[in-house]
């Protein structure tokens, strides 16, 4: 939500003793004692930015999740305050249709993921840290104006957390939720189905690097998490779990995402060599980053 982003950004800048010309905090990935260095991913070697088009629909102004189909179309949704619905966009960001997600509620939808022909909408936002459980709604790629969802109800093993990033492993369907904290320490919790979310990793990304979205490429080889200003990339071996891959230090994409505005979306291409974003606001721009 805007007030959260602006207030937290001001707090970080003030805490760094900065003024108008103070640069944004930079990410400082750290190794765990047993971590191996990740090879440099193609996204970190080259990430040219291209504007593909605009989303021109008055109902689409606070986007907080993005998923790309193998055909190159996109599914997205609004942040808290909207109902349980998703929007389909074409390859240029042009609006195609709205779909009502039946059997779902919308407290604070924060991310959307895709695995094969199935979408996962993540109702995981919790700015006040007081939700006893969070929900992920799973439904097939819609063919008509409605979709019927199955509800996965999840509870953290320790306490409530605010989160805005959902990862779905294309290999086995495991869910991973990554928490959002402006301290730059993100916790990773996983589950296979409804039930307990167990902590499997802790990421030290640098002061101010609060995670707002993420994705796993359809081939399973690339994981990306983003903050408002940066994108962090992990390459993953065929035999690795998401948790194992995330315990290595990431590389950082050479792109300043803060220039987009308030960015809470990210979708990977199937091979993980490019990603797409759309910021919040009226008539937002669909952008591609990659070689």
121: confidence class by pLDDT, cuts 50, 70, 90: very high
- Domain locations along the chain: 27-290
pLDDT tens-digit map of 50-71: 999 999 999 999 999 999 999 9
CA 210 vs CA 26, 58, 80, 225, 243: distances in Å:
12, 28, 18, 10, 19
Yes or no: say if 246 and 31 are a contact pair by the CB < 8 Å rule: no
Length of the chain: 291
Q: Does domain 27-290 have CATH number 3.40.50.1110?
A: no
Q: Which of 7, 3, 1 is nearest to 182 (CA)?
A: 7
H, E, C per residue of the chain: CHHHHHHHHHHHHHHCCCCCCCCCCCCCCCCCCCCCECCCCHHHHCCEEEEEEECCCCCCCCEEEEEECCCCCEEEEECCCCCCEEEEECCCCCEEEEEEEECCCCCCEEEEEEECCEEEEEECCCCCCCCCCEEEEEEECCCCCEEECEEEEEEECCCCCCEEEEEECCCCCCEEEEECCCCCEEEEEEECCCEEEEEEEEEECCCCCCCCEEEECCCCCEEEEECCCCEEEEECCCCCCHHHHHCCECEECCCCHHHHCCCCCCEECCCCCEEEECCCCCCCEEEEEEC
pLDDT tens-digit map of 239-280: 999 999 999 999 999 999 999 999 999 999 999 999 999 999
Q: Is 210 left (phi over 0), alpha (psi -120 to 50) or beta?
A: beta
Beta bridge partners, 163, equal: 179
What is the Cα–Cα distance from 158 to 161, expressed in whole angstroms?
Answer: 9
What is the Cα–Cα distance from 224 to 210, expressed in whole angstroms?
Answer: 14
CA 83 vs CA 78, 103, 165: distances in Å:
8, 12, 19
Share of the chain above pLDDT 90, in %: 85
| Residue 150 predicted with pLDDT over 60 | yes
| Residue 99 predicted with pLDDT over 60 | yes
| Residue 14 predicted with pLDDT over 90 | no
Yes or no: say if 223 and 242 are a contact pair by the CB < 8 Å rule: yes
What is the Cα–Cα distance from 157 to 180, expressed in whole angstroms?
Answer: 17
Q: Is 220 left (phi over 0), alpha (psi -120 to 50) or beta?
A: left
> What's the pLDDT score for residue 187?
98
Yes or no: say if 248 and 38 are a contact pair by the CB < 8 Å rule: yes
40: confidence class by pLDDT, cuts 50, 70, 90: confident
Token output for 288: 């591609």
| Residue 12 predicted with pLDDT over 80 | no
């Amino acid at each position: 939500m805007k007030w959260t982003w602006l207030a937290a950004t001001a707090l970080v800048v003030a805490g760094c003793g900065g003024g108008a010309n103070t640069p944004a905090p930079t990410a400082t990935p750290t190794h765990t004692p047993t971590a191996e260095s990740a090879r440099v991913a193609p996204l970190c070697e080259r990430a040219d930015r291209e504007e593909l088009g605009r989303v021109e629909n008055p109902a689409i102004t606070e986007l907080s999740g993005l998923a790309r189909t193998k055909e190159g179309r996109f599914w997205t949704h609004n942040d808290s305050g909207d109902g349980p619905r998703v929007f389909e966009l074409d390859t240029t960001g042009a609006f195609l249709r709205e779909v009502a997600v039946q059997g779902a509620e919308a407290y604070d939808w924060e991310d959307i993921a895709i695995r094969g022909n199935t979408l996962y909408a993540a109702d995981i936002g919790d700015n006040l840290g007081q939700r006893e459980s969070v929900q992920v709604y799973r439904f097939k790629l819609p063919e008509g104006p409605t979709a019927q969802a199955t509800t996965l109800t999840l509870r953290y093993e320790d306490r409530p957390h605010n989160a805005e990033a959902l990862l779905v492993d294309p290999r086995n369907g495991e869910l991973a939720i990554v928490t959002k904290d402006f301290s730059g320490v993100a916790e990773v919790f996983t589950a296979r189905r409804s039930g307990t979310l167990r902590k499997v990793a802790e990421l030290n990304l640098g002061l101010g690097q609060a995670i707002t979205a993420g994705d796993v490429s359809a081939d399973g080889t690339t994981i990306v998490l983003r903050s408002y200003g940066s994108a962090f990339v992990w390459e993953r071996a065929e035999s690795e779990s998401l948790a194992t891959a995330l315990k290595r230090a990431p590389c950082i994409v050479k792109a300043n995402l803060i220039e987009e505005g308030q960015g809470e979306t990210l979708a990977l291409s199937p091979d993980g060599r490019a990603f797409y974003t759309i910021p919040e606001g009226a008539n937002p721009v669909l952008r591609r980053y990659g070689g």
